[in-house]
Each structure stands twice: as C-alpha cells, then as structure tokens.
Structure 1
Amino acid sequence: MIRLILILLSVWLVFSSAVPVMASQPPNLTPEQFQQLDELAQKALSATESGDFAIAETYWTQIIEKFPDNPAALSNRGNARVSQNKLEAAIADYNEAIELAPSATDPYLNRGAALEGLGKWEEAIADYNHVLELDPNDAMAYNNRGNAEAGLGKWEEAIADYHKSTEIAPNFAFARANYALALYQTGKTAEAIRTMRNIVRKYPSFADMRAALTAVLWEQGKHGEAESNWVAAVGLDQRYKDINWVAHVRRWPPLMVAALEKFQELK
C-alpha cells in the first residue's frame, strides 16, 4: 500500500497529509500564475481520487515544468506512475525528490513500495529502515517493511512489524489484516481467525478479510459461513475472484492463496 502525498502550495509544493489549501503567494509569481498552479494541483488530486492516474501524471508534470526543483510534485508524480505500473519511471521521480528533500519520509516510503513491485525486497527494506530512522513512529513504514519481509519469506519478522504498526495506529485496518494473514501462514490458525473476525466485526465492508475468512472457514468445514463471507467479499470487490491478483498484486501469503484457490475450485 502507497501513501499518497497531498500538498500545500507555497514557495514549494511541500509534503503534508492535509488537504491542499492556499498559502501565501510565492515570490516572483503573478497572481495569475499562482492561481494556475493551484488549479493544476487541485486537478491532479481530483484525477487521483477518481482513478485517472494518467491524467494526474500529466498535471504533476505540468507543475514540475514550472517548478523543476519541487520534491513533493516529483513524489506525487511517482505515485501516479506507480498506479500505472511505471515502476522504473516512478523510482526516478522518487530519487529526484530524495535528492531535493533528503529529510522527508514520503519519497523513501513510496520508493520502497515501487521497489517491492520490482521484487527488490532488500532495497525496499533499506528505504523503510531509513524512514524509521527519520520517524520511529511511522506506522506505514512498519507495515510496508513487513510486506517486504514477507516477500523474503521472513514471516516472524513481518508479524512483528505488522503488530508494531497496529500498536502505533490501532485503526490501520490493512496492517491488522496483514498481521492476520501472516499469522495463518505461520500456523497460528486460531489467532489468525480471531483477528480476522474482529476486523470484520469492526469493518464489515472490508473485502480482504471477508475473502480471507472465506478461505480459512471453508478449510475448517464451516461451508455456510464461508459462502456467506464470499458473497459479501465479491460483492464488495470482484478482484478476489482472480487468484493471480490475490497472489501477485494483493500478495497474500502462499498458504492463504492456496486455501482460497481450494475454495474456488471446490465450492
């Protein structure tokens, strides 16, 4: 999972988790130029929210052409490129953003996610480690490092990082979901199911955990409950019908993928 960087428009477009707002007018810009930049930023964010990542990339590029030394715009364009699977191009953007803003965490975090997409787990972990050096309480960095450790088959390390992520951010549902999936992979079935049930109880529209419960309950012979969760899961997100997507994009652990595949074959 990639953290999108929303922006404030001032002398630079700076990193922020807030909704972009108007700041003081940058020097050497006319009011018309300032308004144009603000409009481009709003269009880029709107395109991102609607899933039009190619259009968002175009808007970020226009901003970068006006402010070529703008780290946040570069990192946001990298996010748009990752969403189109342009991973190498995205990494190039993150590299530039890091050169311009070496103490900002988001470009490292986002570059790590892109490196994961290329299967470069150790390089991704190095980026997440650096994020945690800059901010020891970054819940996303712990979650993402867990994902990269899972890519290396280091499941106990992944479990520890997922758990740490949820300690920092108790409402970070995906970190808790990843924790449950990793528990199942390591044979901690009862704890995994209990965690999955708790997540679904709190977030009944969470398709990922509905699909996970489908797989594990089917294996336990609880076919009626499994079917009920499956109807809910695919009603929320049809992608869980695609085992290839579950295995290689969502990246469930191997035992969870096998359990879901068995359900789909036998139901």
Structure 2
Amino acid sequence: MKRWLISLLIIFFLNVVIGLRQVAIASNIQTGDLTEQQIAQGEKIAKKAFQAAQQGDFARAETYWTTLVENFPENPAVWSNRGNVRIGQYKLAEAISDFNHSIEIAPEYPDAYLNRGIAYEGQKLWSEAIADYNHVLSITPQDPVALNNRGNAKAGQQQWQDALDDYQQAADLAPTFPLARGNASLIQYQLGDHSEAIRNMRNLVRKYPMYSDMRAALAATLWVEGKQGEAESNWVAAVGLDNRYQDLNWIENIRRWPPAMIQALSRFLNLN
C-alpha cells in the first residue's frame, strides 16, 4: 500500500504525513538465529501495531513496537515505526532517538528521515526538518509526501511562496493526495489570492466531504466574504468531524494555519 495512503489515517498535529513502513521481520536483519516461529510471531505483533495506530491508539501501538524493538533490534523499520507512534503521543525527543537508530542501521532508506523531520517540526526546528526532507528528496526526488512536509516546514519559517511551490508540486505529482491541495489553498489565502483559495477549498470539500480542515477553512473564509449561510453549514460539518477547530490556540500552535486564515477564523468564532 502506498505510504501516504496509510498515513492519511494518522493526520498528526502538523497536518503532516507520517510514513509507516510495512514490516517484514525477516528482512534487513541477520535471520540465522531466528526460527520461522519467531519470525511469524513478530509479523503478527507488527500487524497488531499497525491496527492500533490506525485506530489512533498510539500508546498500545508503542507497546507492540517496543516488543519488536527488543526482539529484532537490527530491523530499521521497527525503530522507525515506534518513532511514528511516539510522535502521535508528542514524545518528540524519544521519537527522534528511534529515528536515529533506524538511520544508523539503514541510512539508505528514506522513511526515518521523513519522520524525523516531522518530529523536528514539532520542536519548531524548521531548518533541521527541511534538511531531512531534502535528504528524502535526494533519494526519491518526486516524493509528494516529502514535498508536502517540506512545505509545512517552510510555512513555519513564513516562507509562504516557497511553501506554496512545494504544496503545488506535491499535488501535481499525486492528484488524489488532498492534504497537499488543502495546504496550498491555505497559503493562497495568506498570499491574498482569496478567490482562488476559496475555489480550491470548495472543490476539495465537494470531493472529500469528510475533510474537516477544509470544512473549517471554508467556513472561516466564506464568513469574511459575507456568505454566512454557507459558512455556518460548513462549520457545523467541520466541528462534527473534529471539534478542535473551535480552539484558536490549537489552530495557531498545533495545526499551524497561516496568520490570515487564523484571523478569518477568529472573526467567524467571534461573529465579527
């Protein structure tokens, strides 16, 4: 399964994409001392870990991955995947340590760099995050996930046009990847291209009606445009899907919308 399709189930606080790597316990390690039973048991635990993560139960997933780390310490994927679920619990320093272990074992694989970049973003270490995303792109130059996430880090530096370029390139490479198009529309609004931003938001909501981020964004921008009825309709849908959009602090510091979008949402929430 494509990495970003799996990761849509785990949209984290930065609206970034976490790359879960399917684990083959017998690969990338010395298997001479492992029995077929041990390998089969490891793969069974890995399946449970993926299921727990996809259900949002990151603590339970971490327990499974810790078992696999202890049993298969030379498998880079188990370290990287434990780092992923630690990100989901905001254990950023511990996650970075796991990604470092994965990179030491297999420096040629991109996933650990991608996910370490996410953890760096959580610490607002934008340059470090961008360096990791650039490394991923040096290995896989047309990786839409790395481009989307690099756009997030550039937005953190308020490099709005550079962020937009990354989002649009990611969207062009993966037309069915809604996060990149959604992020691009937020930056378009920040840059003053309101009509194009709203047009793109509407298209995304039409195609992906459960996309709460775009529902909330559309509510905010339409309110500013004086289209109260349509704004309120989208808002009801947005908070029904995810009530965190009622919290401006979460929007600004966790989800990290650009300032113009935060101002628009503030006007809506305050009925201004």
Q: Could you tell me the TM-score, scaled by structure 2's length? A: 0.91
Asked if 1:3 is matched to 2:26, the reply is no
After TM superposition, give the deviation of residue 114 of structure 1 in Å: 0.5
Q: Within 5 A, what are the aligned runs for 1:160-199?
A: 160-199=165-204
Which one of the candidate residues 132, 146, 150 is aligned to 2:137?
A: 132
**Stretch moving more, 29-38 or 44-53:** 29-38
Q: CA RMSD in A?
A: 1.6
**Stretch moving more, 87-96 or 27-36:** 27-36
Q: Are the aligned partners of 1:11 and 1:27 in contact in 2 as well (CA < 8 Å)?
A: no
1:107 maps to 112
Q: Distance in 2 between matches of 1:48 and 1:91?
A: 18
Asked if 1:221 is matched to 2:250, the reply is no
**Stretch moving more, 29-38 or 81-90:** 29-38
1:17 maps to none
Superimposed CA distance per residue, residues 59-98 of structure 1 (whole angstroms, 9 cap, x where no aligned partner): 1111111111211000000001100000001001111111
Superimposed CA distance per residue, residues 22-61 of structure 1 (whole angstroms, 9 cap, x where no aligned partner): xxx9433223322321221122112112211111111111
After TM superposition, give the deviation of residue 100 of structure 1 in Å: 1.1
Q: Distance in 1 between matches of 2:105 and 2:39?
A: 22
Which one of the candidate residues 142, 151, 171 is aligned to 2:147?
A: 142
Q: Distance in 1 between matches of 2:25 and 2:57?
A: 25
Q: Distance in 2 between matches of 1:117 and 1:12?
A: 31
After TM superposition, give the deviation of residue 223 of structure 1 in Å: 0.7
By relative contact order (CA 8 Å, sep 6+), the higher-ranking structure is 2
Asked if 1:152 is matched to 2:157, the reply is yes
Q: Residue 2 of structure 1 aligns to a residue in which SS? A: coil
Q: Within 5 A, what are the aligned runs for 1:197-216?
A: 197-216=202-221
Q: Residue 187 of structure 1 aligns to a residue in which SS? A: coil
Asked if 1:46 is matched to 2:61, the reply is no
1:18 maps to none
Which one of the candidate residues 231, 234, 242 is aligned to 2:239?
A: 234
Question: How many pairs does the alignment contain?
Answer: 257
Q: Distance in 2 between matches of 1:112 and 1:152?
A: 14
Q: Distance in 2 between matches of 1:66 and 1:51?
A: 24
After TM superposition, give the deviation of residue 9 of structure 1 in Å: 2.0
Superimposed CA distance per residue, residues 222-248 of structure 1 (whole angstroms, 9 cap, x where no aligned partner): 111111111111112111111111111
After TM superposition, give the deviation of residue 136 of structure 1 in Å: 0.6
Give aligned-pair identity as a percent.
54
Q: Residue 22 of structure 2 aligns to a residue in which SS? A: strand
Q: Detail structure 1 runs of 4+ shifted over 6 Å in the superposition.
A: none
Q: Which amino acid aligns with 1:5?
A: L
